[in-house]
């Protein structure tokens, strides 16, 4: 009979992000898509590379756009087809950056925010509705504000008008909406692909976010994850998977379950009572052992920070109970609460040594900070033009639908004498954009 491994937990849990209670293991399909899309993105954004030229020579040069709109290319190789398929599976994260707007479709492309936009239902616009973004612009490349206001809901219109337009008529480009810089990374692509089509929004668990940052042996972190998720080969768990072992606890003879072994067994209770944490296991028999462990650790993490002694000591006791249990099962050692406590103490001192070592390494490797300042040009005492700028940006309420207002103010002076001042209301969808606009205006 072929040996099949025991699966303690579903792969979907293991692949969940660490902050959501999973182990962050990579899903092979998603990582494959993310890496294929990396190739596609590279060829699209660097058209002068040899590989890009070969690819768009062999296949229609619009292969990227075709893949987004779902049009197949005939007689493509397996590799090329996979690359094109990855583009269509990632299309939700691809955004248009507007230059002259001639290649950007108003309703088919994502170019305002993270979603496609729609025309207003009852618009006062006369004539046929425009298709391309360039049709929303005036001849001098600025927005045709009156048609934008008449075609779209006011929140959408405000966001459109806040898009800065270049007056050089540059071509439309692509960017990746899942990163702040617009550049694609396999990591962001991976999580984007993995979470596409997920209906429920998972809430980030405070415990897990803190736990993975705790200053602790990595094997303990995984061990505690297993305890909380009941993924430990206790006798009860083994019997559930039809493995013929005696159900008796090696310490006391009752049935060995996760809760019994780590908390409810007489021996474990004695250990918990006599350790310096002063935990009474009897008071908690009703609680699920996973939540019991989680609650204590979360309490210690919140109280003492991520390298507190109590967190480590609590974990080291759980670890020592498990080690001692294995000694008794496999080597026939005599069960004793004193041995468990002694083991826990030894592991604590090991942790302390490694902790101090880590601190020492950290001190010796930190180089003194270089001053974050530099000088451009020649410093002169004479004629100096000083431009002071400030942008203000305010979001009204938590609507997130573009109810913001922004203003810019600037002052230019030469050798201390004021030459010009100005202030203006601007349309900007973020504080950074407001600050950038005022610099542009002042210049």
Candidate segments 16-24, 131-139, 243-251, 370-378, binder of Zn ion by CB under 5 A = 243-251
Candidate segments 224-232, 262-270, 364-372, 383-391, binder of Zn ion by CB under 5 A = 262-270
Which of residues 265 and 427 has its CB atom nearest to Zn ion in the complex?
Answer: 265
* Residues contacting 13, CB < 8 A, separation 6+: 21, 22, 23, 229
Does residue number 252 form part of the binding site for Zn ion (CB under 5 A)?
yes
Does residue number 289 form part of the binding site for Zn ion (CB under 5 A)?
no
Which of residues 90 and 265 has its CB atom nearest to Zn ion in the complex?
Answer: 265
Shortest Cβ 285–Zn ion spacing (Å): 13
Candidate segments 34-42, 71-79, 218-226, 249-257, binder of Zn ion by CB under 5 A = 249-257
Phi, psi of 143 (to 5 degrees): -70, 145
Handedness of CA 50, 55, 61, 66 (dihedral sign): negative
Shortest Cβ 353–Zn ion spacing (Å): 32
Chain positions 329 to 348 lying near Zn ion, rule: CB under 5 A, are: none
Which of residues 117 and 318 has its CB atom nearest to Zn ion in the complex?
Answer: 318
* Residues contacting 328, CB < 8 A, separation 6+: 250, 251, 334, 335
Shortest Cβ 347–Zn ion spacing (Å): 22
Q: What is the DSSP letter of 137?
A: B
Q: How far is residue 443's CA from residue 437's CA, in Å, rounded to a whole number?
A: 10
Under 8 Å between Cβ of 202 and 195: no
Outline where 245-308 has alpha helix (H).
258-259, 266-274, 289-304
Which of residues 163 and 252 has its CB atom nearest to Zn ion in the complex?
Answer: 252
Q: How far is residue 21's CA from residue 258's CA, in Å, rounded to a whole number?
A: 19
Which of residues 28 and 285 has its CB atom nearest to Zn ion in the complex?
Answer: 285
Burial (CB count <10 Å: 0-12, 13-18, 19+), residue 40: buried
Q: How far is residue 423's CA from residue 251's CA, in Å, rounded to a whole number?
A: 79
Which of residues 152 and 251 has its CB atom nearest to Zn ion in the complex?
Answer: 251
Q: In DSSP terms, which residues pair with 385 in a beta bridge?
A: 414
Under 8 Å between Cβ of 410 and 422: yes
Which of residues 83 and 232 has its CB atom nearest to Zn ion in the complex?
Answer: 232
Does residue number 328 form part of the binding site for Zn ion (CB under 5 A)?
no
Work out which of 136, 157, 160, 249 binds Zn ion, going by CB under 5 A: 249
Shortest Cβ 259–Zn ion spacing (Å): 11
Which of residues 92 and 247 has its CB atom nearest to Zn ion in the complex?
Answer: 247
Q: How far is residue 69's CA from residue 395's CA, in Å, rounded to a whole number?
A: 35
Does residue number 251 form part of the binding site for Zn ion (CB under 5 A)?
yes
Shortest Cβ 267–Zn ion spacing (Å): 6
Work out which of 68, 231, 258, 265 binds Zn ion, going by CB under 5 A: 265
| DSSP track, 332-352 | -PPP-HHHHHHHHHHHHHHHH
Candidate segments 14-22, 108-116, 160-168, 248-256, binder of Zn ion by CB under 5 A = 248-256
Residues that bind Zn ion (CB under 5 A): 249, 251-252, 265
């Amino acid at each position: 009979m072929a040996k099949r491994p025991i699966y303690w937990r579903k792969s979907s849990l293991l692949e969940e992000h660490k902050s959501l209670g999973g182990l962050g293991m990579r899903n092979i399909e998603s990582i494959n898509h993310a890496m294929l899309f990396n190739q596609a993105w590279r060829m699209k954004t660097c058209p002068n590379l040899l590989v890009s030229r070969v690819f768009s020579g062999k296949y229609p040069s619009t292969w990227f756009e075709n893949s987004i709109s779902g049009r197949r290319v005939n007689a493509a190789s397996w590799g090329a087809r996979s690359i094109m398929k990855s583009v269509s599976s990632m299309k939700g994260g691809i955004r248009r950056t507007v230059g002259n707007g001639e290649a950007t479709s108003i309703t088919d492309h994502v170019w305002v925010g993270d979603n496609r936009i729609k025309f207003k239902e009852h618009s006062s616009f006369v004539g046929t509705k425009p298709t391309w973004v360039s049709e929303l612009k005036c001849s001098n490349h600025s927005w045709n504000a009156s048609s934008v206001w008449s075609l779209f809901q006011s929140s959408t219109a405000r966001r459109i008008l806040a898009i800065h337009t270049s007056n050089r008529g540059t071509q439309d480009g692509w960017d990746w909406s899942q990163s702040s810089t617009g550049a694609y990374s396999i990591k962001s692509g991976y999580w984007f692909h993995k979470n596409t089509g997920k209906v429920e929004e998972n809430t980030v668990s405070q415990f897990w976010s803190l736990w993975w940052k705790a200053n602790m042996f990595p094997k303990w972190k995984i061990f505690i994850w297993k305890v909380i998720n009941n993924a430990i080969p206790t006798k009860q768990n083994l019997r559930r998977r039809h493995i013929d072992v005696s159900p008796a606890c090696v310490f006391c003879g009752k049935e060995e379950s996760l809760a019994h072994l780590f908390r409810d067994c007489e021996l474990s209770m004695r250990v918990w009572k006599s350790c310096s944490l002063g935990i009474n296991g009897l008071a908690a028999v009703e609680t699920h052992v996973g939540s019991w462990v989680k609650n204590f650790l979360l309490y210690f993490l919140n109280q003492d920070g991520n390298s507190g002694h109590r967190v480590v000591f609590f974990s080291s006791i759980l670890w020592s109970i498990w080690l001692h249990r294995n000694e008794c099962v496999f080597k026939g050692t005599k069960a004793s609460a004193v041995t468990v406590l002694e083991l826990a103490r030894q592991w604590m001192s090991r942790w302390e040594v490694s902790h101090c070592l880590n601190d020492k390494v950290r001190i010796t490797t930190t180089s003194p900070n270089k001053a974050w300042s530099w000088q451009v040009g020649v410093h002169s005492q004479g004629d100096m033009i000083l431009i002071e700028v400030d942008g203000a940006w305010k979001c009204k309420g938590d609507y997130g639908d573009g109810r913001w207002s922004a203003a810019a103010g600037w002052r230019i002076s030469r050798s201390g004498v004021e030459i010009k001042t100005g202030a203006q209301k601007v349309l900007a969808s973020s504080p950074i954009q407001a600050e950038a606009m005022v610099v542009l205006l002042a210049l």
